[in-house]
Every structure is written in structure tokens, then in C-alpha cells.
Amino acid sequence: MSVEERRQIEPVSYAEPEVAPLPAEDRSKAFTRGILEVLQALAIAVLISVGLNLFVVQVTEVRQRSMENTLFSSDRVLVSKVDYRVHAPTPGDIIVFKPPIETNIPYVKRVIGLPGDVIDLRDGRVVVNGRELNEPYAIGLTTPRGGQIRFPFTVPAGNLFVLGDNRPVSGDSREWGSVPEENIIGKVILKFWPLNEARFFDW
């Protein structure tokens, strides 16, 4: 066999070219650039999160028993901040708001009356504009509370009348009156915690 024939049969191996390591200064620059990219990504994520929390949705923890058995203390809900920019609140909505009393805790209640509605309490039942409400979600009798609120009560313009579902323990519009619409933080659209009790609300 000729030399030329052997060359055609025998495999030819090629050595990998050696790559010179980066100088220490270049390695330092690459590391710094990587750190800056990570920090930039984190900053963008934080800005998006803050923007969503301020203008779109926020997570709220229920801290009272006043909405049992719809919502329980320590439940976590997702609150939409855009719904009421599109349409007005409607009776039955569950809202988060700053109550017109001295407290730093946002309240969660159900909308019962709109501006101009006449609210009355008769024999433990709620009557709106002369019609008794059907409230399968309510626990206990809805009785008047001490305070300045007298019934029948006409909801002022730009305000809402709200009640908790657990009527015997709820501090609500029966005590401190109606809620200015500018106090509304948003509408509860989802209960997501505990996970096994997650549910959407009408929206």
C-alpha cells in the first residue's frame, strides 16, 4: 500500500488550539458587567411590581372576622384597582377601603347602597329603596348600632353604604356612616389563600 493510500485510510487528528486565559483586568470587567446586568434586571422587576401595586392590582390580607363566611381572617385576596375607573361600584361588590375612622387598617366590606339609595333596617333585615334584600351570604340579624346613624338612611352623593357579611360582629356603615368613593382602594376579585379555598368573585 502506498503512502498516499495510507493517508486516505488513517484518521487525521487535529489538536484543539489553546485559548489564552483572559487577563485579570478583563475577568474583573466581565464580572462587574454581569453584576450590573443582574441589578438592572432586578430594578426593572421592582419597578414593574411597584407599578402594578400602585395602579393595577394589590394583595391584601383580611384582618377581621366581619366578612365570615365569605372571607376569614388571614385570608389573602387580590384587589383590582382598575375596575372602578371603568365602571361604578355595584351592590354586592366586595371592596377594600380606608374607613372614615381613625385606623391604619384597610377594611373589607360588601357594597349595599349606592349614592341616593335609602337604607332601612326592619326586623333584622336590610331594605333598600323599599325592597328587602335577599342576602344568602349574610350571617345573623342586621340590627342598628350605637352612633350617629339613624334609619332610614339616605346615602350621600359620592358615597357608598357598606356592611360586613357577619352582621353581629361587623363594624360598618351602621356605626360610622357611608364611605366616600375616594376612600376605595379597589374591588376584591380573587381569594387565593388558602390555596384549597381559592375562588374568583364576580367581576
Q: Sorting pLDDT into bands at 50, 70 and 90, what band is 163? A: very high
Cell of 114: 349606592
What per-residue confidence (pLDDT) applies to 46?
A: 45
Question: Residue 19 falls within a domain, yes or no?
Answer: no
Average pLDDT, the chain: 82
Residue 27 domain-assigned? Answer: no
Q: Is 173 a catalytic residue?
A: no
Residue 29 appears among annotated catalytic residues:
no
Please give the pLDDT value at position 83.
Answer: 83
- Residue 49: pLDDT band (50, 70, 90) is very low
- Which residue range is the domain that position 172 belongs to? 57-200
161 inside domain: yes
Three cell numbers written together for 111: 357594597
Query: What is the average pLDDT across 113-121?
Result: 97
- Residue 49, in any domain of the structure: no
Q: Would you say residue 110 lies in a domain?
A: yes
pLDDT tens digits, 51-108 = 444 445 689 999 889 999 999 999 999 999 888 888 889 999 999 999 999 888 999 9
Question: Using an 8 Å Cβ cutoff, are 188 and 77 in contact?
Answer: yes
Residue 44 clears pLDDT 70, i.e. is over it? no
Domain presence at residue 140 = yes
Q: Choose the catalytic residue: 66, 80, 170, 178.
A: 66
Whether 121 is in a domain gets the answer yes
Read off the pLDDT of residues 6-18 as tens digits, 9 standing for 90 and up. Answer: 555 555 555 555 5
Query: pTM surpassing 0.75?
Result: no
- Domain of 190: which CATH number? 2.10.109.10
Question: Residue 113: what pLDDT?
Answer: 97
Q: Which of 81, 109, 187, 191 is catalytic?
A: 109
CA distances in angstroms from 77 to 68, 88, 163, 181, 189, listed in the order given: 14, 21, 18, 20, 7
CA angle 159, 165, 171 (to 5 degrees): 60
Kindly state the percentage of the chain with pLDDT values over 90: 57
Instruction: Summarize the confidence of residues 152-168 as an average pLDDT.
Output: 97
Total count of domains within the chain: 1
Lowest model confidence (mean pLDDT) among 37-41, 68-72, 123-127: 37-41
